[in-house]
Structure 1
């Protein structure tokens, strides 16, 4: 199916510019089927509709919030089917929030450990470094 360029459709370069997204990222989202196969002009240029542009914004915003590709796929599947409840979306978001909270706890533990081993170091010219010793020891 061929389309002519109208103001409702944009080429991939324009979509990338508008969304702040790399061209290759858009192609990747098409390859993994998060984005649908776009319409094409008679000479084969990809054309993205307003719905395609909204979908890309949804994907990009979801990625900014740390949702995984699989989580985004689940969200989009629910949205695409139109057969979802706010409760289902909330449940998926709550699972993601738990994952983020675990990561934050792990990072705080990492921060405390790095601070502790850094505090033990005089940062001088001596060849013996307590940081290296901590990293080597069991």
Structure 2
């Protein structure tokens, strides 16, 4: 059995993180000691390790909750249930990467269009573009240029 500080230290996190996971229903102490301390079992430690590994590969707390619900009922679930969670996350990550690539391209256009000199910013091309262009203009240009490459 582990007290909260011991379990946290064993996994390289702080006790507040364990309390956070408890608050969000991901982890619960197996018991409380006579003096009210949270006490965790080996199973709790394994569950925490699962949570931390899932978090390390990018799953959100909601997704981890879903994976844990499958984990505790493995015999009642099928592998495709887990794969669906992973594939959904993979799709979201791919969409986010595409969005970040559009951001990078738009920022590069803004940077390339600016002289970066020491004169007044009254005629700065970056500020002019941000004042006059619609956000969709940057996104569209970035998407078109990215599609051409």
User: Residues 2-25 of structure 1, C-alpha deviation per residue, up to 9 Å, x if partnerless?
Assistant: xxxxxxx11111111111222212
Higher relative contact order (CA 8 A, sep 6+): 1
The aligned counterpart of 1:31 is: 23
CA distance in 2, matches of 1:10, 1:106: 43
User: 96, 112, 132: which one pairs with 1:119?
Assistant: 112
Deviation at 1:105, TM superposition (A): 0.5
User: Residues 61-111 of structure 1, C-alpha deviation per residue, up to 9 Å, x if partnerless?
Assistant: 212222122111111111112322222111110111000000000001101
Q: In proportion to residue count, which structure has more helix?
A: 2
Q: Give TM-score, length-normalised by structure 1.
A: 0.87
Deviation at 1:119, TM superposition (A): 0.8
User: 51, 54, 73: which one pairs with 1:81?
Assistant: 73
Secondary structure of the corresponding residue to residue 26 of structure 2: coil
The aligned counterpart of 1:14 is: 6
CA distance in 1, matches of 2:124, 2:46: 54
Runs of 4+ in 1 over 6 A off after TM superposition: none
User: Residues 107-132 of structure 1, C-alpha deviation per residue, up to 9 Å, x if partnerless?
Assistant: 01101111111111111112222122
Q: Give TM-score, length-normalised by structure 2.
A: 0.81
CA distance in 1, matches of 2:92, 2:71: 22
Secondary structure of the corresponding residue to residue 70 of structure 1: helix
- Equivalenced residues, count: 130
The aligned counterpart of 2:131 is: 136
Runs of 5+ in structure 1 lacking a partner? 1-8
Question: Could you say what the CA RMSD is over the residues aligned between the two structures, in angstroms?
Answer: 1.3
